[in-house]
Amino acid sequence: MVVASPSRPGGASGSAHVTSSTSGEATATAAASSGRLGSASASVALRRGRPRDPAVDEAILRATLDLVAEVGLSGLTVDAVAARAGVGKATIYRRWPSKEALLFVAVATVGEEPPTPDTGRVDDDLLALYDGLVDSLGDQRQGRVVVEMAAAAAQDPALMEIQRDFVQRRRETGRAILRRGIERGELRPDLDLDLVLDVVVGPAVHRCFLSHQPITRVLLESTVDLVLSGARAVPRLEDRGAPPRPTGEPDRTSS
């Protein structure tokens, strides 16, 4: 999951843009209409009435991400969000019913759906796709937002559903990359696409949540290379143009 860079001290905000009418809120609206959202989350759905000011929405959502990165979800208050965004508490409550719902909508409405990279090589496409994830999880402030979201979702089935939808929409981009790799003959046609994506992002997620080791581009490159070595339709060395070993010559690489 990629989140926007929270604003840095001094007021410099991240490069991602917050939109006011989004698929994240549409997901919450659908869940509310089907009765799946609990009392804390039901009114995540867009409220009817006077048109909302996108600039106000952006200020509130950006303030939410900043504060969660600074104090965590447990330390987040609507009063603090209102003060940071320069709005009244009533303005926030007219839009979102709880700080948990506010956090999820903030993350789900940051930026646009990631484009599908198409470099002509499946490994380069995966690296381009997941660079943002590495940046998010590797940054202490952004990583804390991800951890806080996971903790909130684990305690609220409605929030978990919103999180699952958010992840699945972005995960489809990874599936599209793998399907193209199969069509080009780079990958085996019998691949379990979701398993491949799980293993590609697994080490970064493990380091973020459990081992707290550095999350770097080198980690991503090594993981993609390792995963694709078992997923390729042709041996990796031949794919790179290395001459195949003559038949009958012993393999000395493992000695």
List, in sequence order, every residue forming a beta bridge with 187; answer none if it has no partner: 232
Q: What is the pLDDT of residue 200?
A: 94
Yes or no: say if 105 and 28 are a contact pair by the CB < 8 Å rule. Answer: yes
Q: Is 187 helix (H, G, I), strand (E, B) or coil?
A: strand
Rounded to the nearest 10°, the torsion over CA 163, 32, 112, 128 is 20
CA nearest neighbour of 159 among 110, 197, 106: 106
Q: What is the pLDDT of residue 28?
A: 45
Q: What is the pLDDT of residues 122-154, one digit of tens each?
A: 999 999 988 877 877 777 777 777 787 788 888
Which stretches of the chain are DSSP H helices?
23-33, 54-75, 78-85, 89-93, 99-108, 122-138, 140-155, 157-183, 193-206, 217-229, 236-239
Specify the higher pLDDT residue, 214 or 37.
Answer: 214
Q: What is the pLDDT of residue 222?
A: 94
Of 79, 108, 137, the domain-final residue:
108
The tally of domains found in the chain comes to: 2
Q: What is the pLDDT of residue 112?
A: 52
Task: Decide if 216 is inside a domain.
Answer: yes
In a shared domain, residues 140 and 42: no
Task: Decide if 29 is inside a domain.
Answer: yes
Residue 9 identity (one-letter amino acid):
P
**pTM, to two decimals:** 0.62
Yes or no: say if 78 and 93 are a contact pair by the CB < 8 Å rule. Answer: yes
> What pLDDT band is residue 50 in, cutting at 50, 70 and 90?
low
Measured between its terminal Cα atoms, the distance across the chain in Å is 41
**% of the chain beyond a pLDDT of 90:** 28
Structure-token pair, residue 47: 């409220």
In a shared domain, residues 231 and 126: yes
Task: Decide if 2 is inside a domain.
Answer: no
Using the structure block, give the residue that is written with the tokens 């994830």. 133
In a shared domain, residues 174 and 217: yes
| pLDDT exceeds cutoff 50 at 34 | no
The answer for residues whose C-beta is within 8 angstroms of residue 65's C-beta and 6 or more apart is: 3, 4, 6, 7, 103, 106, 107, 110, 145
Q: Could you tell me how many residues make up the chain?
A: 255
In a shared domain, residues 178 and 126: yes
Q: Which of 76-85, 130-139, 168-177, 237-246 has the lowest mean pLDDT?
A: 237-246
Span 81-91, average pLDDT: 93
* CATH classification at residue 44: 1.10.357.10
In a shared domain, residues 82 and 140: no
Task: Decide if 16 is inside a domain.
Answer: no
Q: What is the pLDDT of residues 192-239, one digit of tens each?
A: 999 999 999 999 989 888 888 888 999 999 999 999 998 988 654 444
The answer for residues whose C-beta is within 8 angstroms of residue 35's C-beta and 6 or more apart is: none
Using the structure block, give the residue that is written with the tokens 């080490």. 203
Q: What mean pLDDT value characterizes the chain?
A: 74
In a shared domain, residues 70 and 142: no
| pLDDT exceeds cutoff 60 at 121 | yes
In a shared domain, residues 101 and 43: yes
Task: Decide if 159 is inside a domain.
Answer: yes
> What pLDDT band is residue 175 in, cutting at 50, 70 and 90?
very high
Q: What is the pLDDT of residue 234?
A: 65
Specify the higher pLDDT residue, 217 or 108.
Answer: 217
Specify the higher pLDDT residue, 145 or 90.
Answer: 90
| pLDDT exceeds cutoff 90 at 255 | no
C-alpha 236: how far from its chain's center?
29
In a shared domain, residues 103 and 127: no
Q: What is the pLDDT of residues 65-77, one digit of tens each?
A: 888 888 888 888 9
CA nearest neighbour of 28 among 144, 107, 91, 81: 107
Structure-token pair, residue 26: 């549409």
| pLDDT exceeds cutoff 80 at 168 | yes
| Cβ neighbours, 10 Å, residue 14 | 20
Task: Decide if 5 is inside a domain.
Answer: no
In a shared domain, residues 136 and 54: no
Task: Decide if 6 is inside a domain.
Answer: no
In a shared domain, residues 162 and 223: yes
Q: What is the pLDDT of residues 16-30, one digit of tens each?
A: 343 334 444 444 443
Task: Decide if 201 is inside a domain.
Answer: yes
In a shared domain, residues 96 and 181: no
Residue 90's alpha-carbon distances to 41, 52, 58, 209, 219, in angstroms, are 17, 13, 16, 35, 45
In a shared domain, residues 142 and 219: yes
Domain residue limits at 30: 23-108
